[in-house]
Structure 1
């Protein structure tokens, strides 16, 4: 197997029987304080399905380079990426730079598959090793921006600078201030003609880690357990493989998701991704932490971004971004989902919130009401809706259509009045 100019024939890749649809590898950060703990973590990472172990030797409390590296490289059950990250690039090491580079050189001599060196000192490192690099070893030259995600031009210029060092693999990690920042990284990954690792850190950057497989990144990172991460926003290996069906993501995979703020609590990705997998649908469903719906929609205008669910607080803003709105959604004044039509790329909004909510209430009331099947058990009932937001509007609409007497309780009178007028005078 190859990806760009980097041979992977020696890699102990997982899931070869799964007919994986991409070559993007899953790399597990190993950040224990002792070599023994690291070996245990590497074994666990392999069991979970990782392809590579990033051995963060800067986390070791006591590091004896020759003995420890030989043990980790020779006894580790996965191909190794040795990273010795200094504090000035977000790592733990705060010692002599010459000793750090000497340890990385030693890692190459001992058979590491990859080593990571920071762009800031890459040329110094290449001079240090004087071209003495085993053919098997691939050098990743990396740059980490913990403040923002620059423009496409600036990221592109950065990638050129990294390539110019002689890097086998380009690694660029930035920070998401907005979910639209991911689009700039996708552009770089898709257009750079060398193996590239392109990641956007933070919760708003999650999609970059999952869709790395769609755009052809060399690898993505997955943690062994939730919360124990080497960078903000890192998903677990289990989530990548089981929740997001990572191996089956391809260039033609359609992207769906739930738009909200906050959105991490949503169970929608669990439901939709399981359904997609069950029926063999080539799609991925993501939690999308969106600040501005309009910016999100205009940025991700590709036909591959095919549809969204909407949750708080964006149900009404979503309606404003539709090219066409279903009549019921228009009456409600909010949408719960949006679909991009394949034929013309137009976005159509719908609202089905009221269907599930009203049906559940009717079923609960039906047994005790004794009303004929043709008459809703809500007919004539006093129906109180707390809140006049998108969901409140939908449920109030559904109850009113069933013949209930609707009362709306809301924090602000203006929204309540607007909703009541909408229900009773349209």
Structure 2
């Protein structure tokens, strides 16, 4: 979704008026020329950035004595000068004395901040001598392998402090999303003891460290000018931080929500929920959460500040096992797609909103077409309903269709799983390989609940175009892209199509209400998703 940007002046005014935290957003400037760096600095200012990080190691041609002064004097924002060597994840691969002398010069010329790596801080202090500093000194440590224990992180922070840092910076790598909790713990400890700290966790699994740092007292986070052009793995864009995640409004009492999945970055849930939270004045933030083990995730983030989660592939069935209380319908389906943590006792409740969202969308599709004459009960009654997939979403659709009086058939790559689900709902089973030749009657309903056809594999489809002629309506739970190959070919074959966007909106109504206690702003949901489409 392309979020609509207000004019530059109003963006800056809104940013300041709505700001609830002191955490800075720093935009890395990584151009290859001085001229382009200056252009990018002004762009960062126009967006509303608090400061820029001048990455000297990205310059293709660089004359320290002239260029550093130009960059500092002509920078329209407070600046942080970094000259990162390759051995610490940067681009510079030359003489160390030359590099450290450039940083010394930046400090003498009045850079607001200068970043020096812990490994060479003593060498840097020797080069500087005893001259008074005009800059705040950030002493940094980057770990591109993992995130150490809390004890080791605490010792690292102590070493950085002892080296004379004005601001401590630690950046680690997340091998699991639970690693982020250790950096949060260190950040909170530093805040309590009055030590300014930049604590970030790199990689997709570390995303929430970058979004939630205001909640835990982080000094700054990084937001890029453009998607993909990052100075470290996992950085979001400045626009997403401010417009999507409402970063300026995050405070220590902000409640945390997210979509748990693997993969998960394709999900549009953050767009829907964050926009809706903002519209009703609810103090919450909703994020992508790349989770490998849902039980471990829920155990690690057990605070009542971590309130609610949507669950997607492949965690819906495991999520049910993690809940202390489960809605009877979700128990019958055998899958949970919504988790709520009680604000009184911290217990976890699970429910399933998938089946309502999908079945309602399919019924509306049938009623809006000429494919049903059933005006009193469900238009699904008596229909042969083929569900592709036997996972959490497949179970929800099979259960919902059976409840509406449909005859259910489960098709799955693994026949045994299809048979298992078919036995539960009282239906039939077949392997996905046999689906193309399965056409016992015309006017059937087809529902794909797998990820087949999802971005980036948009040319994939679970069934041939020829076989689609037996179906009167085809539904696809995939919504990235909105019109999958399956839906495109189904329409060409003459079927009514129902997109995953319609299911997505439908299942989100109940989740929003359970998350916030507010009625779901249904028209807003539709507008947000229409803008995305």
Normalised to the residue count of structure 2, the TM-score between the two structures is 0.76
CA, structure 1 residues 230+17, in 2 after alignment: closer, same or farther (shift >3 Å)?
closer
* Structure 1 residue matching 2:54: 3-state secondary structure: strand
Q: Is 2:290 the partner of 1:289?
A: yes
Q: Which runs of 5+ in 2 are unaligned?
A: 1-11, 428-533
Residues 20-61 of structure 1: per-residue CA shift (max 9 Å, x gap): 111110011111111111000111111112111100111111
Instruction: Tell me, in whole angstroms, the C-alpha distance in 2 between the residues paired with 1:16 and 1:73.
Output: 25
Aligned pairs for 1:76-91 within 5 A: 76-91=75-90
User: 2:140 aligns to what?
Assistant: 142
User: 1:209 aligns to what?
Assistant: 210
Q: Displacement, 1:414?
A: 2.6
* Structure 2 residue matching 1:408: 3-state secondary structure: strand
Instruction: Tell me, in whole angstroms, the C-alpha distance in 1 between the residues paired with 2:87 and 2:260.
Output: 36
Q: Displacement, 1:372?
A: 5.0
User: 1:389 aligns to what?
Assistant: 391
Please point out which of 395, 403, 406 is paired with 1:404: 406
User: 1:9 aligns to what?
Assistant: none
User: 1:423 aligns to what?
Assistant: 425
User: 2:179 aligns to what?
Assistant: 181
Instruction: Tell me, in whole angstroms, the C-alpha distance in 2 between the residues paired with 1:384 and 1:15.
Output: 50
Q: Displacement, 1:124?
A: 2.0
Instruction: Tell me, in whole angstroms, the C-alpha distance in 2 between the residues paired with 1:413 and 1:325.
Output: 28
Instruction: Tell me, in whole angstroms, the C-alpha distance in 2 between the residues paired with 1:16 and 1:386.
Output: 46
User: 2:92 aligns to what?
Assistant: 93
Instruction: Tell me, in whole angstroms, the C-alpha distance in 2 between the residues paired with 1:258 and 1:158.
Output: 32
Aligned pairs for 1:15-30 within 5 A: 17-30=16-29
User: Contact between 2:15 and 2:248, CA under 8 Å: does it hold in 1?
Assistant: no
Answer with 198-207 or 92-101: which moved more: 92-101
Residues 160-214 of structure 1: per-residue CA shift (max 9 Å, x gap): 0000001000000011101111001100101013000011100111111001111
Q: Displacement, 1:84?
A: 0.8
User: Contact between 2:21 and 2:248, CA under 8 Å: does it hold in 1?
Assistant: yes
Q: Displacement, 1:369?
A: 4.7
Instruction: Tell me, in whole angstroms, the C-alpha distance in 2 between the residues paired with 1:182 and 1:418.
Output: 38
Instruction: Tell me, in whole angstroms, the C-alpha distance in 1 between the residues paired with 2:343 and 2:93.
Output: 54
Aligned pairs for 1:371-386 within 5 A: 371-386=373-388
Aligned pairs for 1:16-165 within 5 A: 17-134=16-133, 136-165=134-163
User: 1:325 aligns to what?
Assistant: 326
Instruction: Tell me, in whole angstroms, the C-alpha distance in 2 between the residues paired with 1:19 and 1:313.
Output: 37
Aligned pairs for 1:208-357 within 5 A: 208-357=209-358
Instruction: Tell me, in whole angstroms, the C-alpha distance in 1 between the residues paired with 2:264 and 2:203.
Output: 14
User: Contact between 1:383 and 1:407, CA under 8 Å: does it hold in 2?
Assistant: yes
Instruction: Tell me, in whole angstroms, the C-alpha distance in 2 between the residues paired with 1:412 and 1:36.
Output: 58
Instruction: Tell me, in whole angstroms, the C-alpha distance in 1 between the residues paired with 2:355 and 2:101.
Output: 65
Instruction: Tell me, in whole angstroms, the C-alpha distance in 1 between the residues paired with 2:404 and 2:18.
Output: 50
User: Contact between 2:15 and 2:48, CA under 8 Å: does it hold in 1?
Assistant: no
Instruction: Tell me, in whole angstroms, the C-alpha distance in 1 between the residues paired with 2:130 and 2:237.
Output: 37
Q: Which runs of 5+ in 1 are unaligned?
A: 1-12
User: Contact between 1:108 and 1:133, CA under 8 Å: does it hold in 2?
Assistant: no
User: 2:509 aligns to what?
Assistant: none
Residues 43-91 of structure 1: per-residue CA shift (max 9 Å, x gap): 1111112111100111111111121111111111111100011111111
Instruction: Tell me, in whole angstroms, the C-alpha distance in 2 between the residues paired with 1:78 and 1:273.
Output: 29
Instruction: Tell me, in whole angstroms, the C-alpha distance in 1 between the residues paired with 2:15 and 2:274.
Output: 22
* Structure 2 residue matching 1:339: 3-state secondary structure: strand
Residues 354-397 of structure 1: per-residue CA shift (max 9 Å, x gap): 11111111111124255454311100111111111100000010
Instruction: Tell me, in whole angstroms, the C-alpha distance in 1 between the residues paired with 2:406 and 2:55.
Output: 63
Normalised to the residue count of structure 1, the TM-score between the two structures is 0.94
Q: Displacement, 1:97?
A: 1.6
* Structure 2 residue matching 1:54: 3-state secondary structure: strand
User: Contact between 1:15 and 1:49, CA under 8 Å: does it hold in 2?
Assistant: no
Instruction: Tell me, in whole angstroms, the C-alpha distance in 1 between the residues paired with 2:216 and 2:335.
Output: 33
Answer with 405-414 or 235-244: which moved more: 405-414
* Structure 2 residue matching 1:397: 3-state secondary structure: helix
* Structure 1 residue matching 2:186: 3-state secondary structure: helix
- Of structures 1 and 2, the one scoring higher in RCO (CA 8 A, sep 6+) is 1
Instruction: Tell me, in whole angstroms, the C-alpha distance in 2 between the residues paired with 1:95 and 1:273.
Output: 45
Residues 265-305 of structure 1: per-residue CA shift (max 9 Å, x gap): 00101100100111111000000000000110110001000
User: 1:6 aligns to what?
Assistant: none
User: Contact between 1:189 and 1:198, CA under 8 Å: does it hold in 2?
Assistant: yes
